[in-house]
Amino acid sequence: MPGYVAPECVADSGGGGKEAGTANAVPHGSTRGEALGLSEPLERGTGFYLPVRAKYAIALVVALTWAALSIWLSLRWLDDLSGLLGRPMAIVVIAFIAYVPGFMNAFLISSILLDKRPERRRLDRYPGVSILVACYNESGNIAATIGSIALQDYAGAMQVLVLDDGSTDDSVAVAEAAIRAAMLRPGHHIELVRGERNIGKAGVLNRGLAMCEHDIVITIDGDSWVYEDAIQRIVERYVADPPGTRAVAGAVLVRNSRENWLTRVQEWDYFHGIAAVKRMQSMYHGTLVAQGAFSLYDRDSLRELGGWPPCVGEDIVVSWALLERGHRIGYCEDAVVFTSVPDELAQFARQRKRWSRGLLEAFKTHPRLLSKARMTLIFIWWNVLFLPLDLVYTFAFIPGVVLALFGHYYIAGIMTLLVLPLAVIWNAFIYRVQHAMFKRQDLKVRRNITGFLSYMLVYSMLLQPICVWGYAAETLGLRKRWGTK
């Protein structure tokens, strides 16, 4: 099964529409470019246009039909498990092992099949951008990050602020050397902003926000490598999207996938899972997370919110604040940044624990999103289901797999295989979509069989108990800290 060639590998080998009640209710074909006066209106396509709400309804019907079929096929399994756990508990276990994941996958596949967003195209005039690069103890990565930004052939003005968060290694010296060596085009400027002490990622981002000269703000992590034209592409997507758009998430993929099995499996998580979900959510006017590793924001909207909140999940909380105000968050699948993912299990556990805590922080900070009438409401409740999904997987399915190894098929057995066909279809389809996007950018696809098999068979058994750990830590109010190092 193929994977993809990340930047270091290349070096080695030489939908518009209407949504009532939201700020982005605009006619099909109307774009943010019109509102900003940066381009001519996009011409309406000559083919048949299916409104976003109709696509939403079709995807929902397909997902409910799949769920109904799963329920019918699992009746015998339900009877057998009821004899062991009782009817109510058996329903809960099977629902979160088979019914809910099946519904989610069917909805996702249907949505992406129907996806047709406004075309991203070159602009007559590119707006100025301010880029914030948060950096804490990134001496091994920050030079490559700065170098990749310096190579961006962006036609507008570009202000880059490298925000040191009181690093205790030699990140500052490395960054200064990289800035001196950078060959910048006219109108581009890179500046290092030194921090005397560590104040956290939200703190340094807010420090940078106060210094931003341009209306568009882009965040990039200090361990990321910005692929060619990524800044141009994410700005073009922002301009092409409906006027209610206040943020656009870029595509974050794995840079260090060759290091070991853990980075290989994360390659698939970013390449398939995260990318597909963001694309689906943006189709219905609300990507739930404009991730700090690479996202574009409207500066004035950020300042109205008071910037990024001081929490471990600052990117998801600020994203939900935008959604709560009726704004739209888009996704640009071909604006690519490659990031260095954790290569040690302890690092990985801390990162995913932080992500889980960030999700609970978002729910506690913006509970009104649970009842806000818009198409993205389904994804908010989708996230609510992550907690019982992770709990059932950790405390029921994993023990069930262990029992099955000893010949006891109460939980994991033949009927469990009903989930696999849709999972295989989902992975094959997402791979085809992502492969096409890579081909358009001259990125090479390579084989990563070990990573794929681990992603399919083992990854959830590692990831979901860590998520449960994160939920427990946030619920118990344990000490927080940002970072994966």
Please tell me the distance from the alpha carbon of residue 42 to that of residue 40, in angstroms, as a whole number. Answer: 6
pLDDT digit string (tens) for 111-132? 888 887 777 788 999 999 999 9
Instruction: Express each pLDDT in 200-211 by its tens digit.
Output: 899 999 999 999
Q: Which of 41-45, 65-69, 127-131, 379-383 is predicted least confidently?
A: 41-45
Q: Please name which of 356, 362, 358, 353 lies closest in space to residue 320, comparing C-alpha atoms.
A: 362
Nearest to 242 by CA among 462, 389, 22, 9: 22
Spatial CB neighbours of 300, under 8 Å, sequence gap ≥ 6: 215
In 175-272, where do the E strands start and end?
188-193, 216-221, 224-226, 245-254
> How many helices (H) does the chain have, and how many strands (E)?
21, 8
CA 432-436-441 angle, 5° bins: 150
Question: What tens digit of pLDDT does each residue of 130-152 get?
Answer: 999 999 999 989 999 999 999 99
pLDDT of residue 51: 85
Q: Is the pLDDT of residue 396 over 70?
A: yes
Judged by average pLDDT, the poorest of 87-91, 291-295, 421-425, 480-484 is 480-484
Quote the mean pLDDT of the chain.
Answer: 83
DSSP state for residue 477 in the 8-state scheme? T
Task: Please state the separation of Cα 48 from the chain's center in Å.
Answer: 30
Highest mean pLDDT among 215-219, 243-247, 280-284, 371-375: 215-219
- Report whether pLDDT(258) > 60: yes
pLDDT given for residue 46 in this prediction: 47
> What does the pLDDT average to over 159-171?
94
pLDDT at 44 exceeding the cut of 60: no
pLDDT for the residue 285: 77
What pLDDT is stored for residue 247 in this prediction? 95
Identify the burial level of 475 via C-beta atoms within 10 angstroms of its C-beta, where 0-12 means exposed, 13-18 middle and 19 or more buried: exposed
Q: Tell me which residue of 193, 202, 128, 205 sits closest to 167, measured CA to CA.
A: 193
Tokens of 300: 């004035």
Q: How confident is the model at residue 5 (pLDDT cuts 50, 70, 90)?
A: very low
The pLDDT, as a whole number, for residue 17 is: 35
Domain boundaries, the chain: 129-344
For residue 79 the two structure tokens come to 């009877």
pLDDT confidence of residue 459: 85
Q: What is the pTM of this model?
A: 0.84
The single-letter code of the amino acid at 417 is: L
Read off the pLDDT of residues 271-299 as tens digits, 9 standing for 90 and up. Answer: 878 888 888 888 887 788 999 999 999 99
Angle at the Cα of 202 from the Cα atoms of 198 and 206, rounded to 5 degrees? 100
pLDDT at 81 over 50: yes
Domain 129-344 fold is: Spore Coat Polysaccharide Biosynthesis Protein SpsA; Chain A (3.90.550)
C-alpha dihedral sign at 428, 433, 436, 442: negative
Handedness of CA 175, 301, 319, 434 (dihedral sign): negative
Position 291, amino acid:
Q
Paired with 221 in beta bridges are 134
**Residues 411-431: what's their mean pLDDT?**
68
Cα(329)–Cα(307) distance, rounded to whole angstroms?
16
Is the pLDDT score of 349 beyond 90? yes
Residue 417 Cα distances to 97, 116, 259, 420, 422, angstroms: 11, 33, 32, 5, 10
Cα-atom radius of gyration of the chain, to the nearest Å?
A: 23
In the prediction, which pLDDT does 23 show? 34
